[in-house]
Structure 1
Amino acid sequence: MSTTDAPRQVYTPTTLNRLVRDLLEDVLPLVWIEGELSNVSRPASGHIYFTVKDAGAQIRGAMFRMKAGQLRFRPVDGMHVLLRGRVGLYEARGEFQLVADHMELAGEGALRREFDALKARLAEEGLFDAARKRPLPPMPRRIGIVTSPSGAAVRDVISVLRRRFALVEIDILPSPVQGREAPPILRSMLQRAAASGRYDVILLTRGGGSLEDLWAFNDESLARAIHASEVPVVSAVGHEVDFTIADFVADLRAATPSAAAELLVPDEADLFRVLDRQRDRLAALLSRRLQHAQQRTDHLATRLQAQRPQARLRRDAERMAALDRRLRLVATQLGGANRHRLARLQARLLARHPGRLLDLQRQRMRALQDRLRQAMQHRLERERTNLRQQARTLQAVSPLATLDRGYAIAFDAKGLVLRRAADVAPGDAVRIRLADGEFPARVDKT
């Protein structure tokens, strides 16, 4: 038979493009690509179109508006990026392209992956456990601040500390907070401060910056030094949205350096207001007692003057003198009793000192935290048990388990499962799926 007599399979451009598109999406469902951006454009639609290239080749790509709106940076020509997406075909032009759903700076992405790996490993070791975090002293006498002495962060911290509680002593422990030399110096300064026994609390702080700028506070040895410190450590690195490994290990993480200063010391204005209220209450109590004694004395004098007859006055002259002596004695005794009561009230006032009340409230709070933590642990354990049981049930009915026993699933060219032999004809292309993968096949006969 000549070639002119052989049956022909004729495709339209649309059909052929769709066939190629389906083939690409089946073979390369999801890929990561690293390269340099060029020809970047962002029209009014909000989509981003670009070319990603290396020294030997280039690929056109697109990122649609919903994903493009989630980017934390603006892509420009020459930027080195890491892309994740699906390889497909732009049917209208028949062009091979990458449809990206994620884009990150190549260098920052590597740092972020290193950060996540260290965070997961230290969390598994228990360095982030809330149970080991120590409470801060309510009124620290001396604070050690490990930071750069020339940064804006230390000025903000000192300003807030002086404004809120001028009695606290502050020591600046100078250390670089950025660059390769920063982690060992930060660790050494922290260890020396903790071992000195001089400080009630240590603050580790610096201002904001990029992930690379803050990288010194993601050092593993620094994290272990914070965990081993006998003195409570507060971490205030960067802005509110910035998180470092030091934040997770520290006994307390503050959103900003200024916020850390507010958490470290009480507000002296509040303390003065409490003392003023207690003094006013004591003064009011003494005034009421003295007024009561004066009213009683006036009442007795009125009753005495009501006995007008002269004869009775003469007869009772001695009695009046006796009453006067008794009145003076009562006044003296009342004064002594009031002084004694005042002393007792002062003792009671001291017993209700704000520091003691705060200790009782902290004890209650720790007890409630322990109960909450235990309840959460019990709940998590029940959920884990339930999840394992559901996973076993799902595995028992999974079609993949059937494939593991030697069965296979056949799909037609449209991706539908073949259930009957009549659904295919000789020459049809099919896909056979086994437990460890799949392969294409063609029907010879049915």
Structure 2
Amino acid sequence: MDSTKYLSVQSLTKYIKYKFEKDPYLQRVFLKGELSNVKHHTNGHIYFSIKDDRSVISAVMFRYDAEKLNFKPEEGQNVLLAGNITLYEARGQYQIYVKEMQIDGIGQLFLKLEQNKELLKKKGYLNPEHKKPIPAFPEHIAIVSSSTSAAIKDMITTLSRRYPLVKVTLLNTYVQGGRSQESVLTNLSRADKLGADTVILARGGGSIEDLWTFNELEVALQVFNMNTPVITGVGHETDITLVDYVSDLRAPTPTAAAEQAVPNMRDLHLRLGELKRQSDSLLLTKIDRSKKHLESLSNYYKFKNPNLLYTEQTEKLRDLTLTLDNYMSMSLREHRYTLDKTKASLSYNNPAPRIKDSQAERLRTEDELKRRMKALLGQKAERLAGNINMLESVSPVQILKRGYSYTTFNNKIVTEAENLKVGDMIETSFNRGTVSAKVTEVNTDD
């Protein structure tokens, strides 16, 4: 057999790969399907499969392209992707190198947004009682946004124009693409530890795919759990993201978020001017009234003759002294009457006589009880003596004393001769002592 006409597996694989790479129809392939077996490698590459109802293709998206994504690929997502077909030589398996990927159908994104919103609503995270008040005069504001966006420039300009006293810290953040979610979470956590009065989370407008980082459930939970009040200004006025529902204040745009975060210095100046005018008017009015009152007092006839004041006060003191004396006398009389009444009541209710009578009654009762007990004991003694005599009269001991005896066999009293037989050992008890005997004859004749 001529082996030269046989190809090695490697050679065939390389040839097929060459065909794949030279085919112009396979250099730019557009596919749609469902993501499966999605694995995010630590090096940033994404490995997955794209499938439909009948077929499955292996796919890989390298880190350079994956960083451009504005969403995180997950199991079960329907996507549109573009890439080139190639062959993986180690396994002889063809696959697609994905260059671009996007969610297939905006409706799916809106559905996921509504699901996340419903989940937060069920947990009570959207309730008004969770909203923290926004400080009226903040000293320090932290902004979580991209430093290269046009929105951040407008925000800083607005803050500087409206309230130049405030300190602004910008945390440069990815707000779009595959790294945006992690970047937003990290910088929100950093902002919460800065000791700022308010945190502004903002980015400019865009499609729902561009804004999707702010619809991620994990980002919304981070905003909800912030200790610092959060103002969100994401997208345009018509864009409402998931973080807007859980933030402490939602602004329609980033610039509006900056406006709502600080007061307007011009308005403060106008308000201070108005308050100053009101204060001056009130002060002048009070001074005028006090001046008129002082003038009326200076013309008062008693002030022109001070002796009248002294005489009047002396008379008033005398009247008060008499009133006080009368009141004290009346009060003392009432207290004496009450005291006498209380003494009489205590004397009437004195328990000493009743105690003495009770003691005498106790002594009489004690003597009567002793007398009755003595009589009862005498009766009981006589009854006991009679019972003893009666018991002694029927006692077997008394009978034995009169010369009688009784015989036992096997510890049982023998009452009839027929209960014994010749040879039985019997025991006869007398008043004093016993006798053991052996039966030699039994006579049962009556």
Is TM (by shorter chain) over 0.5? no
Greater C-alpha Rg: 2
**Normalising to structure 2: TM-score of the pair?**
0.41
